Structure 1
Amino acid sequence: MSLTEGLVERYLAVWNESDAENRRKAVAEIWSEDGLYANTGQEFRGHEGIEAAVTEAYVDFVAKGFAFRLHAHSVNHEAARITWNMVPKDGGDIAARGTQYLTFAKDGRIRTDHQFPEEI
Structure 2
Amino acid sequence: MNDPDTLARAYLALWNDADAASRDRRLADGWTPDARYADPMMTGAGHDGIAAMIAAARAQVAGHRFALRGTPDAHGAFVRFSWTLSPEHGAPIAAGTDIARLAADGRIAEVIGFLDKDSA
When normalised by structure 1's length, the TM-score is 0.89
* DSSP 3-state at the match of 1:6: helix
1:58-115 alpha-carbon deviations (Å, 9 max, x no partner): 1111xx21100000221111101110000112x1211100111111000101111011
- How many positions carry a matched residue from both structures? 117
Equivalents in 2 of 1:106, 1:29: separation in Å? 14
Whether the 8 Å CA contact 1:17–1:58 is kept in 2: the answer is: no
What is the CA RMSD across the aligned residues, in angstroms?
1.6
Equivalents in 1 of 2:9, 2:44: separation in Å? 21
Tell me what 1:85 maps to.
84
Aligned partner (choices 72, 92, 95) of residue 94 of structure 1:
92
Tell me what 1:118 maps to.
116
Equivalents in 2 of 1:88, 1:42: separation in Å? 21
The percent of aligned pairs where both chains have the same amino acid is 32
1:38-76 alpha-carbon deviations (Å, 9 max, x no partner): 121443111111111111121111xx2110000022111
Structure 1: which 4+ aligned runs deviate by more than 6 Å?
none
Whether the 8 Å CA contact 2:82–2:95 is kept in 1: the answer is: yes
Equivalents in 2 of 1:68, 1:5: separation in Å? 15
Matches within 5 A, 1:1-120: 1-3=1-3, 6-61=6-61, 64-72=62-70, 73-89=72-88, 91-119=89-117
Whether the 8 Å CA contact 2:86–2:94 is kept in 1: the answer is: yes
Whether the 8 Å CA contact 2:65–2:87 is kept in 1: the answer is: yes
| Post-superposition offset of 1:4 | 5.8
CA 1:105–1:58 in 2, change beyond 3 Å: closer, same or farther?
same
Q: Aligned letter for 2:113?
A: Q
When normalised by structure 2's length, the TM-score is 0.89
